[in-house]
Chains A and B, each alone.
Chain A
């Protein structure tokens, strides 16, 4: 597609439930990133993929969070046993490659997750 697509745009879930957030990057972009943005703050890094593999998952807050990118294109961020503190906007970005990052990142519109 022309841009990075994220679905759903909004997700409301009950505490303790499982959720999946999807990201469809720009075609041909090998690098894919997930960020989380809380209200009034800048985005914080969660994980990035180079191709199918997670090259750096150091930003995942705990083992309830997991992400996959099985075919090197679409990625899914999975959150188990959601907590109210997980409420945030989850942003996905893609880039032509990671090193060198000469082209910058293109971000999707995000998924607003609300845990009630």
Chain B
């Protein structure tokens, strides 16, 4: 059974600092991993999708890496802005479960 963990649960940084968000998963037979952003009271917005054959994906200031052997994914957000304040969730898709399994999320606050 896939288990996904995100540490820390909350993070506060000053504006301009780079953000590093960690995600670990137990089942290395992962097909892909997806990062989402969730604003308070809102649904999930997909940020990046990394296939198991890929090592990383980039979109603007966002870069996500995937290391299946160590069971880890990292989301980097460069030059953080107050608008980046949100909860970031990672989710792994495994063949065994045929569904996304989510971590608990990291709540990010970027202070002006």
B102 touches A42 (CB 8 A): yes
Q: A101-B93, A102-B51, A104-B46 are in contact. Are A56 and B99 (CB under 8 A)?
A: yes
Closest to B5 in A: A42
CB distance from B25 to the nearest CB of A (A): 12
Residue of A whose beta carbon sits closest to that of B50: A104
> For chain B residues 69-93, which have a beta carbon within 8 Å of chain A?
89, 91, 93
B49 at interface (Cβ–Cβ under 8 A)? Answer: yes
Summed over the interface, the residue pairs from A and B with CB atoms below 8 Å come to a total of 64
**CB-CB nearest in chain B for A48:** B99
Most buried by B among A93, A101, A107: A101
- B42 touching A104, Cβ below 8 Å: no
Complex formed: what's the CA distance from A106 to B49 in Å?
A: 11
A65 within 8 A of B: no
User: In the complex, what residues of B have CB within 8 A of residue A35's CB?
Assistant: 102
Contact of A98 among B34, B51, B98 (CB under 8 A): B98
Chain B residues with CB under 8 Å of A91's CB are 43-44
Cα–Cα distance between A93 and B100 once the two chains are bound (Å)? 10
Task: Assess whether A112 is interfacial by the CB under 8 Å rule.
Answer: yes
B9 to chain A, nearest CB (A): 8
Decide if A43 touches B98 in the complex (CB within 8 Å).
Answer: no
Cβ–Cβ < 8 Å partners of A48 in chain B: 98-99
The minimal Cβ–Cβ distance linking B108 to chain A, given in whole angstroms, is: 14
Cβ contact of B43, chosen from A33, A42, A45, A109, cutoff 8 A: A109
Instruction: Find the A residue at minimum CB distance from B99.
Output: A45
Bound Cα distance from A41 to B91, whole angstroms: 13
A105 and B100 form a contact (CB under 8 A): yes
Option from A40, A41, A107 in Cβ contact (under 8 Å) with B44? A107
Residues of A within 8 A of B (CB): 6, 33, 35, 40-45, 48, 55-56, 91, 93, 98-110, 112
B residues with a Cβ closer than 8 A to A are: 4, 6, 31-32, 34, 36, 41-46, 49, 51, 89, 91, 93, 95, 97-105
List the 3 closest pairs (A to B, CB-CB), nearest first: A42-B102, A109-B43, A107-B44
